[in-house]
Amino acid sequence: MPVTAKICGLSTPDTLDAAVRHGAAQVGFVFFPPSPRSLTFDQAAGLAGRVPSHVRKVGVFVDPEDGLLDATIAAARLDAVQLHKTAPDRVAAIRARTGREVWAAVAVKTSADLSVAASFAGAADRILYDAKTPDSAALPGGMGLRFDWTLLQGHAHPLPWALSGGLDPANVAEAIRVTGARAVDVSSGVESAPGVKDVAKIAAFLQAVAQC
């Protein structure tokens, strides 16, 4: 089974087109104002219109309210919702209410953090293992941090899962080898500056994944 990749935090037509052209399985749109990658509804609608049907559109949220979810799903025609810092019961409620595939982010720094994933069984469709950010950080992800990938070796995953956190074109093949991931997610690792995606880095990342 080939490894699939999501390019997250896209905000311009040229970088979105590059992600699609080079084989991204999903494209991620961020709806969290503190992030330099956050989109307006109009921006999201314009980008969504460029995404072919075989590529899934994922909206990224931090414990969102129903009103934001409804407006965003409508504007960006989202196929899936990725939730950060959202409790399992709320994740389950969002999944039931929206009818969309739901990814639940689990922030990882130590092996004990992995136990949180089990609480999302029956609530989410997929776990996204991401690097835990400092408590003082404004963002829950997209900061280029990575965790010890060997923590995932031998871990009994309660759901399908994807690997995120500090991935880039140079290390993604190693990350896949160490963890056995069949899905990866990148944001800051394909940027030239915070929030500024780089077409060449997107291409290099997806080419590296395709060779795994």
Q: What length does the chain have?
A: 212
* Distances 102 to 51, 120, 132, 146, 207 between C-alpha atoms, Å: 19, 10, 20, 23, 27
From the number of C-beta atoms within 10 Å of its C-beta (0-12, 13-18, 19+), residue 136 rates as exposed
**Which of the residues 79, 130, 168, 185 is marked catalytic?**
130
State yes or no: is 212 an active-site residue. no
**Which of the residues 8, 79, 168, 185 is marked catalytic?**
8
Active site residues: 8, 130
